[in-house]
Structure 1
């Protein structure tokens, strides 16, 4: 089978939107990773399967998948045919963190109106000059998401229980705070264990159990997220490698490709063609 890869990424001038990412993959498999933002995903061709909060999920036809910030997930093609997807990453001004638990409980939303509105949003996002339309459509999407997720907040054992379980992390939460503070500079496991006063092996096991992702995977995904923002700002890949905490260019390229599905250079080029003149 011939491998196919098409990637286009950019940051539009639309309030609340952090990144737009369109891709076609036949064989790429995303490792466990996290995003700082909400991930709103539609699959136009094929299907994606993924794990979210230790549950196997998928994208049946016509659904919209909403993946919450800071919740680890992976992803791969459900068939050898691969998939074509369109993604909008938006911040908590569009949908606040109070809906994270509800989204974890049911990320795949089978709602025809929401699906139609997301498609309309993407059509506006690819057209320079249509930023006001995109902002309007994003506002309606946020409203629809809140309407769809709200009933789950009121169900016994739903949002409150799920979110509450994720907020009591003890030493795992302490390690995550350290990693968030030292995304670029990094920290050794022994130093972290000393600061938290826990055995290194126990610290690693506790983090992996609490968050469903190993500490090193979490740190790499945070560095890749920072690198994406810098590349979309137009920064050279060589500078981004250092400024996002990677050892060198090969180290940066290897991990970026594993998480994003393409090299930093190709990712940056896809963004550059959409930069406004002047």
Structure 2
């Protein structure tokens, strides 16, 4: 194992993460999202699949499945693309870097979601509902009641619309809470493991640093470049997923300096990884 790969594995373990490579569907979607045109011919998709041990047939089956599900379209013979607009979750992934701009000053109020009347026998609805709450950093405060600090731009109305677009159950009530009792205020602030979040930022910064070392090694030749590209895609998925799920807590609860450093480091790393992947995909397209 190259030294940088061992460093990545160690840094990921320290962050409580596993560098799990994408499956065939995820790989295709990631590559189409990475390419500026969000469109690629079959040849580079097959070549990229080989870096992750996928046969040509496996990638072809993945493309057929994604096309059937409406997650990929063909714009010409042998040309695959993301559909116009994409999915809500894909937009979440693509817009992770702008998430920090959503945070505003916190006055101490909370946003609450009350879902005691939710039909929990509707499993697809329940999955979408719970995913929406996770993506916007809500935690369960009491049965049927979830909270987060009211520190997102636009306040309750904007968060309500955002949650509904992400799949929140239409029967859920979204409202603003303030003037909690001292005990309830302490309980609300304790819903998040703040030391764990702070340690996670440092561990992820170490992981990104190890990824930079891998990209430095990509200058050693074609094989090293392909290996580094595969590692970069795997690492980027893990780190960006962590940032997407970050609750974006206010400074009064968790100082945001380390989170902002992490966002900047990941953005710089992603630019380097994208440049590497763009070069490979262009070369593979040319044949």
TM-score (norm 2): 0.25
Relative contact order (alpha carbons < 8 A, sep ≥ 6): 1 or 2 greater? Answer: 2
TM-score (norm 1): 0.26
Q: Which has the larger radius of gyration?
A: 2
- Greater strand percent: which structure? 1
